[in-house]
Structure 1
Amino acid sequence: MKSYDWGVQVANRHDAKNTEEFIYRAAVELMAARGYHGTTLRDVARAVGLQMSSIYYYFPSKQELLLAIMRRTMRDLRAFVEPPISAEGSFRARLTAGIRAHVLFHADRRLETLVTDSEIRALEGENRDEIIALRDAYSGLFLEVLEAGRRAGDFTFSDAHVATNALMTMCAGVAVWYQPEGRLSLPQIAEEFTRLYIRGVAASPAQPE
């Protein structure tokens, strides 16, 4: 995966084809560092060297900019995780593959996932409803595998929704503390997450596949 933990590329910021992308990147970095309410469109405009009128051409409001970040992040997250978690194989193998992909995405796209996970409270009205629906549909991929695995006797837990929410919360946290120069590689971290979770829900002490 390509890393999106960007710095704004000032030298190319006035390339018209890339203007919207530079605005997006700057907003991601600023909102990840300062929060939605601590970031203004003027801050974003200053970061990419544009006038406010140019920002409004691409994003009519800060709310629309936040929504664009969350839409893209949720779309790309699902596109990355759905193939492995939906592939042929045992429920343990599918869940393991889904957890790995989820962790890898959250670490590699850490600033976008930080904004998406932490600023949903800043969305208004229908915008919030839309992103919550996307989030619920995404977590439903894991819920389906967990429920089916429990029926098959592969997993054991009391409530599938609690098990799913615990998984989402645990794995999303990697975006907060992961550093590429850290002691463990990202694949090693993803592997450890799968071991911890699969051992917790497994009906027997077998290793994750």
Structure 2
Amino acid sequence: MARTAGSHGARTAEAIRRAGLRLIFERGYEGMTLRDLAQAVGLQPGSLYNHIATKQALLFELVSEHMRTLTDALDAALAGVEGPLARLDAFVTFHVSYHLTRKVEVFVNNSELRSLEPDNREAIMALRRAYEQRLAAILAEGAQAGLLAVPDIPVTTYGILSLLTGVVTWYRPEGRLAEDEIVAIHRRLILDGLRGGGG
């Protein structure tokens, strides 16, 4: 049974994470101060240290949490899906759908890598490589089976991820196309492109 004080502390910590994410998105890591963060959650600046060690630690927590959530959700989306074509289709569907609804997290994850200290940055890069490897393995399996035309596994992996992740820079919920239509277009681009336009 959790004590009330502990429960309140957990809620405060979550409020700090949410406010920190929003402020970093709006102002950038360098532009956000701990005073800004404390004010956003109604705390005295010194009280923040009851919940976060440093501003850098907060950024690392936000980015690593995003990468772990992303990878766990991908693994769930791929569970039970057999065959490289079906798995590639599931990957594209998942990646685009996930990123369409998490613009703030994705922006901070990508734009603030430069703000991470070397050890923290390497830890995040390892998580990113693990995610990328899931797509690379699907492409390699499809190429080996003769189902996909993949001229270079790493370059194709990075190219696909750049294309799919790019939706966060231009998609607007009030725009001309609904989310499922955006997903369907990307599925056709990737699957038809790697199968030579059809098949």
8 Å contact from structure 1 (residues 139, 164) kept in 2: yes
- CA deviation string 1:55-94 (max 9, x = no partner): 1221111110110111110011011112333533221111
1:38 aligns with 2:31: yes
Alignment partner for residue 156 of structure 2, among 158, 163, 176?
Answer: 163
CA distance in 2 between partners of 1:89 and 1:56 (Å): 48
Computed over aligned residues only, the root mean square deviation of the Cα atoms, in angstroms, reads 1.5
Instruction: Structure 1 unaligned segments of length 5 or more: list them.
Output: 1-14
Counterpart residue number, 1:74: 67
1:135 aligns with 2:124: no
Residue identity opposite 1:188 in structure 2:
E
CA distance in 2 between partners of 1:163 and 1:87 (Å): 24
Identical counterparts, % of pairs:
38
Counterpart residue number, 1:29: 22
Alignment partner for residue 181 of structure 1, among 174, 185, 189?
Answer: 174
SS state at 2:29 partner: coil
8 Å contact from structure 1 (residues 154, 204) kept in 2: no
Counterpart residue number, 1:58: 51
Off by >6 Å, runs of 4+ in structure 1: none
8 Å contact from structure 2 (residues 139, 150) kept in 1: no
Instruction: Structure 2 unaligned segments of length 5 or more: list them.
Output: 1-7
TM-score, normalisation: structure 2: 0.90
Q: How many residues align?
A: 192
Residue identity opposite 2:142 in structure 1:
G
- CA deviation string 1:121-151 (max 9, x = no partner): 1111211110000000011000000011001
SS state at 2:143 partner: helix
Counterpart residue number, 1:48: 41
1:198 aligns with 2:171: no
8 Å contact from structure 2 (residues 24, 32) kept in 1: yes
CA distance in 2 between partners of 1:69 and 1:174 (Å): 21
